[in-house]
Chains A and B, each alone.
Chain A
Amino acid sequence: MAEYVFRYKLDNNKERLYQDSLLEMIRAQLENILNIAIPVEGQREVKIDGFKLLRDRQRVYKIFPQEQDFLEERSL
Chain B
Amino acid sequence: MDAADADLLDWVPRLRRYARALAGNRDDADDLVQDTLERAWSRASLWRGVADMRGWLFSIMHNLHVDALRRGRLATVPLSEDTPEGIAPPPQAERLAVLDLQAALDRLPLEQREVLLLVALEDMAYADIARTLGIPLGTVMSRLSRGRERLRALLDGAPSAGSGEPVRLKVVK
The judgment on whether A and B are partners is no
Interface positions of A (Cβ within 8 A of B): none
